[in-house]
């Protein structure tokens, strides 16, 4: 199922809740609100990429994500327009990052813009496996030919570029019917686009564990006592921990493959949950898990945007 970009009522409830809980997240939350608005606009402007019937049939039996080895038709123009919009929002929400030391926002966005103006790159952006943050970062550093000192700039640019191209993937996922789809899918990668989950929730109504994709935001159910990364179901290897002050936010770890996934228990959550904001609000859990030697199922943290640390 898909609940992205978040609707107005949810946004209003969540904004107040997260800002009150973590005042330091205010700029990031404002940024996301602007991004969602722009993404919604973009989704009404771009032509939907129709799901072919054979892809839908295939999806029921396949072991591969539907979009694997497929290319979505991406308009470099639309992505460029969106990239300018998210960069403007970034500049407005993180003025300290954007001012001084040359204009860092310009420095961030320039490599990305030059990248998408290349039509080959636009074609590349239509492939889900090419738009992971790691791949985008690689692409930008190759095109811009800066040194290692520029890595943080590429990391931030990659996130902005991903937000600019994301509506295509969300729009694709939005066409898929809900009921009974992917019932067989018990994996830690998205059945639609193959990307990693941003986080999981335990559903309010039945406690079912749902993973949410970090790219197309498709949500799919997985078995609760099973590591979505390696398939381990040995109870002795699976565990979770939490901060005693926020018991509803858990980190599920697997001691076989040493991965972790943050999981929010919706029934116990004090307010509405939006994956991007919940991910940002739980950054300390990532740090704890990583300190213990676990690696995230979704390895690319949004820490650069969260802390505004682009130096």
Question: Applying CB under 5 A, which residues contact Zn ion?
Answer: 190, 192-193, 195, 213, 215-216, 218, 227, 229-230, 232, 254, 256-257
In the complex, minimum distance from the CB of residue 26 to Zn ion, in angstroms, rounded to a whole number: 28
d(CA 198, CA 177): 22
In the complex, minimum distance from the CB of residue 69 to Zn ion, in angstroms, rounded to a whole number: 15
In the complex, minimum distance from the CB of residue 157 to Zn ion, in angstroms, rounded to a whole number: 22
Expressed in percent and rounded to 5, the helix, strand and coil fractions of the chain are 50, 10, 40
Question: By C-beta, is 90 or 172 nearer to Zn ion?
Answer: 172
In the complex, minimum distance from the CB of residue 68 to Zn ion, in angstroms, rounded to a whole number: 11
In the complex, minimum distance from the CB of residue 175 to Zn ion, in angstroms, rounded to a whole number: 13
266: Cβ contacts below 8 Å, ≥ 6 apart: 201, 202, 203, 204, 273
d(CA 304, CA 163): 14
Structural contact between residues 213 and 192, judged by C-beta atoms closer than 8 angstroms: yes
Question: By C-beta, is 25 or 274 nearer to Zn ion?
Answer: 274
How many CB atoms are closer than 10 A to CB 256? 16
In the complex, minimum distance from the CB of residue 189 to Zn ion, in angstroms, rounded to a whole number: 8
Backbone phi and psi for residue 115, each to the nearest 5 degrees, phi listed first: -70, -45
Structural contact between residues 261 and 200, judged by C-beta atoms closer than 8 angstroms: yes
CA distances from 36 to 4, 39, 47, 246 (A): 9, 5, 18, 27
In the complex, minimum distance from the CB of residue 127 to Zn ion, in angstroms, rounded to a whole number: 13
Question: By C-beta, is 101 or 290 nearer to Zn ion?
Answer: 290
Backbone phi and psi for residue 27, each to the nearest 5 degrees, phi listed first: -60, -40
Question: By C-beta, is 25 or 216 nearer to Zn ion?
Answer: 216
Terminus-to-terminus CA distance in the chain, angstroms?
Answer: 38
In this structure, the dihedral spanned by the alpha carbons of residues 172, 173, 176 and 182, taken in order and rounded to 10 degrees, is 140
* Residues, the chain: 311
Question: By C-beta, is 49 or 232 nearer to Zn ion?
Answer: 232
| Tokens (6 digits) for 168 | 């295509």
Question: By C-beta, is 55 or 230 nearer to Zn ion?
Answer: 230
Question: By C-beta, is 17 or 217 nearer to Zn ion?
Answer: 217
């Amino acid at each position: 199922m898909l609940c992205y970009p978040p609707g107005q009522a949810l946004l209003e409830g969540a904004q107040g809740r997260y800002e009150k809980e973590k005042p330091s997240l205010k700029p990031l939350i404002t940024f996301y609100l602007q991004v969602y608005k722009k993404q919604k606009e973009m989704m009404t402007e771009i032509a939907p990429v129709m799901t072919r019937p054979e892809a839908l049939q295939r999806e029921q039996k396949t072991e591969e994500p539907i979009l694997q080895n497929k290319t979505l038709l991406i308009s470099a123009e639309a992505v460029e327009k969106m990239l300018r919009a998210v960069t403007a929002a970034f500049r407005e929400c993180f003025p300290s990052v954007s001012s001084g030391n040359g204009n860092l926002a310009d420095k961030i966005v320039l490599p990305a813009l030059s990248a998408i103006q290349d039509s080959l790159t636009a074609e590349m952006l239509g492939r889900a496996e090419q738009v992971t943050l790691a791949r985008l970062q690689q692409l930008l550093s190759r095109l811009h030919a800066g040194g290692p000192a520029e890595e943080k700039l590429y990391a931030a640019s990659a996130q902005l570029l991903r937000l600019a191209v994301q509506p295509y993937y969300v729009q694709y996922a939005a066409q898929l019917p809900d009921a009974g789809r992917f019932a067989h899918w018990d994996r830690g990668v998205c059945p639609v686009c193959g990307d990693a989950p941003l986080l999981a929730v335990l559903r309010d109504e039945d406690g079912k564990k749902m993973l949410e994709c970090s790219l197309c935001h498709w949500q799919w159910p997985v078995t609760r006592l099973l590591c979505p990364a390696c398939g381990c179901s040995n109870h002795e290897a699976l565990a979770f921990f939490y901060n005693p002050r926020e018991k509803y936010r858990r980190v599920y770890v697997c001691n076989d493959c040493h991965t972790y996934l943050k999981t929010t228990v919706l029934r116990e959550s004090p307010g509405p949950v939006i994956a991007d904001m919940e991910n940002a609000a739980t950054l300390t859990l990532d740090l704890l898990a990583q300190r213990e030697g676990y690696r995230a199922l979704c390895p690319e943290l949004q820490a650069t945007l969260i802390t505004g640390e682009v130096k």
